Amino acid sequence: EGVTARLFVKRAFPFCALWLATHYLYLLALRKLPPSDASALFCCNKAFVFLLSWIVLKDRFVGVRMVAAILAIAGIVMMVYVQYVDGFNHDSVVGVALAVGSASTSALYKILCKMLLGSATLGEASQFLSSLGLFDLLFVWVLPVALYFTHVEYWPSPAALPWGHVCGFACLLLVFNVLVNFGVVVTYPIFISLGVLLSVPGNAVTDALRSDVDFSAVRLNATLLICAAFVLLLLPSDWDEAVLRLLRRMR
């Protein structure tokens, strides 16, 4: 099948829309939440991927992963409760919703990749990302212009922009996207997942040193619940059989 302009837009648009929504919602969440809370809530995307895989892709039901999904949802509820314990702050509650929305769109992106790409090779992943980059270059520039003229976003003068921070952020975001999309092809996906998980304690240390975030018992428990759910979701589907075999050998 030849690649036509219509086919190119049809295939690239949903991926670009979901990935753009993931990043934009996460950035909005960071304006209202500490980075440690936002990164912990983003880890819930693993639970959403499991639920969508079970419902949409008809993957095998795994009990421990359902327990992990329940723990992740409980962590989200506790994170909302934290905002009430700290004194009701509408912006913080909206920030939780934005972070969960970012995790949801990230999960939808991964499910769409499974549906259309399956287990892609390195060459296929390169072609896929090149297509998304070309689509972004041709069409996505319209979105920030529209947000500016509708007064949703504000652009300061070029002289007022912290270009060092902007360029540093752009480079780190590029590295993140390359590692996430190519890492699952050239190495074990668990390494990429562990990198996402380790961002939670890393951001927590940064918040403790550079801001006045109150790490209350409720906030810590919510974060630990989400991280525990993330770790449970990393277990292979046949982990229980492997444990039983190990116990038999130990006898």
pLDDT digits (tens, 9 = 90+) for 182-196: 776 776 667 777 778
Question: Look-up: residue for tokens 């949802």?
Answer: 73
pLDDT value, residue 90:
74
pLDDT value, residue 29:
92
pLDDT value, residue 1:
53
Q: Which of 27, 16, 11 is nearest to 141 (CA)?
A: 16
pLDDT value, residue 14:
92
- Sketch the domain layout of the chain as residue ranges: 5-123+188-246
- How far is residue 152's CA from residue 174's CA, in Å, rounded to a whole number? 25
pLDDT digits (tens, 9 = 90+) for 71-80: 888 988 888 8
Q: Which of 24, 30, 153 is nearest to 94 (CA)?
A: 30
- How far is residue 76's CA from residue 102's CA, in Å, rounded to a whole number? 13
- How far is residue 139's CA from residue 145's CA, in Å, rounded to a whole number? 11
Low-confidence ranges of the chain (pLDDT < 50): none
pLDDT value, residue 87:
63
pLDDT value, residue 2:
62
pLDDT value, residue 171:
92
